[in-house]
Amino acid sequence: MNSLRLINLIHSDPLDYLAREKFEVSRSDTRSNLRDLLDGKVDYAMISLIDYFKNRKSLVLVDGPTISGKGKSDSNLLISNGSDPFPGMRIAVTSETETTAFFLKLILQRLYPGSELIRSRNNSVGDLLKEEDFALVIGNRALDIYRTDTKIIFDITHMISKLFNMHSIYAVTVSLNGREYDENLVQLKNIPRWTITRDLERISKEHNLEKSILTEYYNSLTYDLNNLMKKEILTFMKYYDEISDDIFLENIDENSIRK
């Protein structure tokens, strides 16, 4: 049985439950997944789209599940302390993502030129909004925001869909060059909706989130990887190569970050 490393965020829960029938499943953050794959510790791994771009010469994009959405996602949000967005704003970016920051940069170039993304070591909404007036949050922390009065500026997935008419592809499944393909990966691209519905109670209790929020969230996700999405990945790769050195404001003095 081949090993499969998934991402330790809520979007992977339905994959986790289903994949255990055919794979030895473990979970970690995307950077650890990449490292262990390159070290030969796992056979297949879900990694961020940006890490795939960075390591494309060593990796194969396999016909397996993705984490993506089109229209909205509910779990990739630009938020603020109450301020309205403007050109030149500074945005603290959760340490949990680089791919979503890339998508946000594409949006900012069109809507709010001159805005800067600031890498953060923090993940919590409170800590990020202490650093800057605006913040990018993802995953479980973003879903939690819907239970608060925190101001949501926009959903990243929704804006990519609106401005570029493409899916926001956050994570892909990869293997090392030369590994034989496991046909069981195909089944994980099209998870039956009834299995997600079946697991909602368990996921709701585990993450302390209302089932209504989870239902809407999973309805906005797709795990598929079709030919259109493969073309979109190539388009995003071109965009990434053009702006990769300009996504974050680099070399910032941490002592100068506003508290």
pLDDT in tens, 175-213: 999 899 999 999 999 888 888 888 999 999 999 989 998
| More confident position, 233 or 70 | 233
159 located within any domain: yes
Q: Are 196 and 215 contained in the same domain?
A: yes
182 located within any domain: yes
**Host domain of residue 92:** 76-165
Closest CA to 12 of 150, 168, 188: 188
pLDDT band, residue 253 (cuts 50/70/90) = very low
Position 112 scores a pLDDT of 98
Q: Are 161 and 101 contained in the same domain?
A: yes
Q: Are 106 and 231 contained in the same domain?
A: no
Q: How far apart are CA 152 and CA 84, in angstroms?
A: 10
Q: Are 146 and 217 contained in the same domain?
A: no
pLDDT band, residue 250 (cuts 50/70/90) = low
Q: How does pLDDT run across 12-56, given as a tens digit for each residue? A: 999 998 999 999 999 999 999 999 999 999 999 999 999 999 999
Q: Tell me how many domains the chain contains.
A: 2
197 located within any domain: yes
